[in-house]
Homo-oligomer: A and B are copies of this chain.
Amino acid sequence: MAQQDAQNGGSEKNNAAAAVVSFVAVKPQLLVEAPKANDAVLFYKAAFGAEEVSRALNPKRKADHELPLILSAELKIAGSSILVSDLAVDSTAPAKTGGNGIVLCLETEDVEAAVAKAVRAGAVKEGEVVEGEGGACCGGLVVKVKDPYGFIWQICSPVKASAEVAA
């Protein structure tokens, strides 16, 4: 398949589904009932020695809440990343409709090709590719797919380095 892509130049839109897709990270994202994500982060630090790498707040809600909601906080446990997010009822975050409280974020430079490949394999796209709200997950484009076993995968551009690091 890689050879075929090379022959076709791999640049035509119709070939996106056949492109070689690579991922740069996979991170479980824990969706916590708002506004408890901050408490959850404190708990994971106390219980599991998690280190907070970055935190992105929801700018749209800063005026309405004493504590701004957490778009996502990235924690490290044993070298692995865990994301913790406030799941607000009126949030426009793509994670909103995640079924079971945990979604799996897959970061890739080519979101469209990754989605096309997943759908060809049997996943179902949930909504369209949109611009993410930023944060530890979803540095740019983001879309969710549900796999045939009920799990939600959030395919998104790699996180930008601009996320603020909490003290």
**Contact between A77 and B33, CB atoms less than 8 A apart:** no
Kindly identify, within residues 89 to 123 of chain A, every residue whose CB is under 8 Å from any CB belonging to chain B: 100-102, 104, 106-107, 114, 117-118, 120-123
* A88 interfacial by beta-carbon distance below 8 Å: no
The one of B48, B101, B123 that contacts A150, using a Cβ cutoff of 8 Å: B101
* A21 interfacial by beta-carbon distance below 8 Å: yes
Interface size counted on chain A using CB atoms at 8 A? 44
Residue among A47, A117, A149 with the highest chain B CB neighbour number at 10 A: A47
* A28 interfacial by beta-carbon distance below 8 Å: yes
Q: How far is the CA of A101 from the CA of B151 in the complex (A)?
A: 8
**Contact between A149 and B43, CB atoms less than 8 A apart:** yes
Tell me the smallest distance from the CB of A133 to a CB of chain B, in Å: 21
Q: How far is the CA of A46 from the CA of B114 in the complex (A)?
A: 11
**Residues of B contacting A59 with CB < 8 Å?**
none
